[in-house]
Amino acid sequence: MDASGKTVTLISATVEIDPVHLKPGEVLVPFEGGHAEIQKIRFAIANGYKVLYVNPNIPLCPTCAFQARQAGLTLRGAMVSGKPAVPLDTLTDADLARMEPRTTGPDFKTHDKKSW
């Protein structure tokens, strides 16, 4: 939701998107690299949007799933990428941390809430 209370859809991805593909009511999150849902949440905070939920068209990666759930933004039925994808509701935060080795690696800071 934007600052005026209008509901919009924030579009983010792990690749650059051409804005010509946007539909009415969609707002493109500038591509910064890294995790799509984390880029979106950061963009929303920086630009005065209130995020109601995240609803990716592919399963969340464990890092995005962890951050989105911490922020209370995941929907029932959300899936986490894996082989095969796993329902988020069946995973604990510790499970997610185990699934995503990068959360303990050198780029951990970019995923750390305190750096937002």
Q: Which long-range contacts (CB under 8 A, 24 or more apart) does 8-11 make?
A: 8/49, 10/40, 10/43, 10/44, 10/49, 10/51
CB of 37 to Zn ion, least distance (A): 6
CB of 24 to Zn ion, least distance (A): 27
By CB under 5 A, is residue 54 in contact with Zn ion? no
Among 10, 29, 44, 61, binds Zn ion (CB under 5 A): 61
How many Å apart are CA 101 and CA 28, to the nearest integer?
Answer: 29
Residue found under tokens 């959360």: 103
How many Å apart are CA 17 and CA 11, to the nearest integer?
Answer: 9
How many Å apart are CA 76 and CA 91, to the nearest integer?
Answer: 13
**Number of residues binding to Zn ion, judged by CB under 5 A:** 4
CB of 2 to Zn ion, least distance (A): 24
By CB under 5 A, is residue 65 in contact with Zn ion? no
By CB under 5 A, is residue 63 in contact with Zn ion? yes
By CB under 5 A, is residue 29 in contact with Zn ion? no
By CB under 5 A, is residue 35 in contact with Zn ion? yes
* Burial classification of residue 2, based on how many CB atoms lie within 10 Å of its CB (0-12 exposed, 13-18 middle, 19 or more buried): middle
CB of 4 to Zn ion, least distance (A): 29
Residues binding Zn ion (CB under 5 A): 35, 61, 63-64
